[in-house]
Structure 1
Amino acid sequence: MGYFVNVEPGVNLYVEDINPTGSKTILFVHGWPLSHKQFEYQFDVLPHMGYRCIGLDWRGFGQSDKPIDGYTYDRLADDILAIVDALQLDDFALVGHSTGGAIAIRYMSRYNGKGVTHLVLVDSAAPTGFTKDTADHFLHLALNDRPKMMREVTDSFFFQYATEEFCDWFFHMGLQAAGWSTAAVIELLRDENVQQDLRQIVTPTIIVHGIHDRVIPFSQAEEIHQQISNSQLLPFYYSGHGPFWEERERFNSLLMDFI
């Protein structure tokens, strides 16, 4: 079922809650500039295996409200906390992909990992996000030709072949976001980082990263593995930036085994 959670006055985030009576809970945090729908191929499988799967759309993205401000790691982590509190979540796994991984890292350090028993970081934009040159390129496109920007994102995302129909679906998912929030998160990825947050994480963590990732290099996964003491690094050898789709059977099995 889907519903909205108020995270601050005038701002409501969309939440998809699948199999609410499941015995184990997984909270999924999507990447930029997508939505909870990117995890469709987890939501198709894991609830049937007894898991409660919760997908949220960040402010500014997907079906959530799109305020003009609030696009910082602190505020986005605060939004996660608001959802955790509203749904009274405890003893849950937190899965963050790309920028969602960086948001998850900030949540873990800012709130001492409240309620989280297992952390899964998937091709995380950590410790840093975009270089200045990459950010400036995407920012120019976001403010002048956002469909072209989203097409470039789609074309660089995957290592394995994706059909034209799949790419169209993925492309339109990114265009559900507001232009201003898309641009604001590019600036976030350029100007902020989660370098100082990593050593504060003590929760059992697995780091999943495609070795062919052209968005966030695999070397960054190695770096966060070194800094999160209780972590395992699991390379995905046939994936780019999207192992949740490119190697979805392995990814889903890994989640079930870990959680």
Structure 2
Amino acid sequence: MPYLPLKDGVSLFYKDWGNSTGQPVFFSHGWPLNSDNWELQMNFLGNKGYRVIAHDRRGHGRSDQPWTGNDIDTWADDISQLFDYLNLTDVTLVGHSTGGGDLTRFAANSKADSGYGTYGCKKSSWVKKLVLISAIVPQLLQAPWSPSGLPMEALNGQRALMLKDRSQFFYDVPEGPFFGFNRPNATVSKGLIQSWYNQGMQASFKAVFDTVTSWQTDFRADLENLDIPVLVIHGSDDQVVPFGVGNKTVDYVKDGRLKVCPGGPHALPNIEADGINNDLLEFLKE
């Protein structure tokens, strides 16, 4: 399996599938999952001739589990090193939930940073487009300018539940709000619940606990620094990152559009896979 040794000694797992000479698409997963959660999108686009790449964020999946570095800036730098190593250019970024946060920070910094990476890849040419699905931007934490966000008490409550019994909490989340299985007449998939649980429990406790702090990040300056097309996709019934948070993203970008998934839950790449796949394909072809 492919691993990249990062500059701080952490080993980062990644997948590089599809057409090696095709247009590249990079995926960043949500909390507390790993690159496996993108399998439907990667399989779909890979079969359409695209080069599809995804990593397991440090502390998650098959990547190493360091004690430190579980924060937005380090995650963005990890992605930068992977892009440098793979010599990627003109990449469309696709981030779900927390993955939308690290890709927003990465995209903003890659456009602002000039010069060449270790392997000769010009940084300003790394990113072509950005897709944010159910993302934590512009800020998940409630603020006067974002009243629909989650109050600090809610974030602290999630920390407390992990400290009390992470195993039970990691069943409660997918059985309820993540996939929208707590809604009346929902078609419940035990397989999706178990897959979420397995991926979550594979991650280090330190990483998933520290990630909660990233949800307090204000990404407005990052978004304003972007000069690329940005597609925002958000479900109107997202119980994890409220729709009132995600729909504000387009207010801070120069070239953005919002696509609403009526009644859609947080887990759009899973529950609305066909729609998400077609949205990605259409955006890639533009």
If the TM-score is normalised by the length of the shorter chain, which range does it land in? over 0.9
Counterpart amino acid of 1:182? Answer: V
- Report deviation, 1:20: 4.5
Task: Give the corresponding residue for 1:150.
Answer: 170
Deviation per CA, 1:68-126: give whole Å up to 9, x if none. Answer: 00122111110110010011110111001111101111112222165111110011101
The C-alpha deviation readout for 1:194-218, integer Å capped at 9, x for no partner, is: 1221111110110011111001111
Q: Identify which range, 72-81 or 20-29, moves more after superposition.
A: 20-29
**What TM-score results when the alignment is normalised by the length of structure 1?**
0.94
Q: CA RMSD in A?
A: 1.5
What is the percentage of aligned positions where both structures have the same residue? 28
- The partner residue of 1:141 within 161, 165, 169 is 161
> Is the radius of gyration larger for structure 1 or structure 2?
2
Equivalent residues of 1:216, 1:241 under 8 A apart? yes
Aligned to 2:237: 212
Counterpart AA for 1:18: W
Number of equivalences: 257
Match of 2:116 in 1: none
Alpha-carbon deviations, 1:107-154, whole Å to 9, x = none?
122221651111100111012134311211111122231112212321
1:116 matches 2:115:
no
| Structure 2, unaligned runs of 5 or more | 112-123, 142-150, 181-185
For 2:270 and 2:192, locate their aligned partners in 1 and report how far apart those are by CA, in whole Å: 11
Are 2:213 and 1:187 aligned? yes
Conserved? CA contact 1:35–1:173, under 8 Å: yes
From the superposition, tell whether residues 114 and 66 of structure 1 become closer, same or farther in structure 2 (CA, over 3 Å): farther
Which shifted more, 63-72 or 4-13? 4-13
Deviations 1:170-210 (A, max 9, x none): 211111100011111112223x3312211111101100111
Provide the C-alpha distance between the structure 1 equivalents of 2:207 and 2:139, rounded to a whole number of angstroms.
19
Match of 1:33? 32
Residues in 2 aligned to 1:200 and 1:179: alpha-carbon distance in whole angstroms: 33
* Separation of aligned partners in 2, 1:64 and 1:20: 24
Change (3 A) 1:220 1:145: same
Gaps spanning 5+ residues in structure 1: where? Answer: none
Aligned to 1:174: 200
Q: Displacement of 1:238 after TM fit?
A: 3.9
In the alignment, structure 1 residue 203 sits paired with structure 2 residue 228: yes
The 1:114–1:65 alpha-carbon spacing in structure 2 relative to 1, beyond 3 Å, is farther
Q: Deviations over 1:14-50 (max 9, x none)?
A: 0011125251111000011110111111122211110
- Shifted more, 201-210 versus 122-131: the winner is 122-131
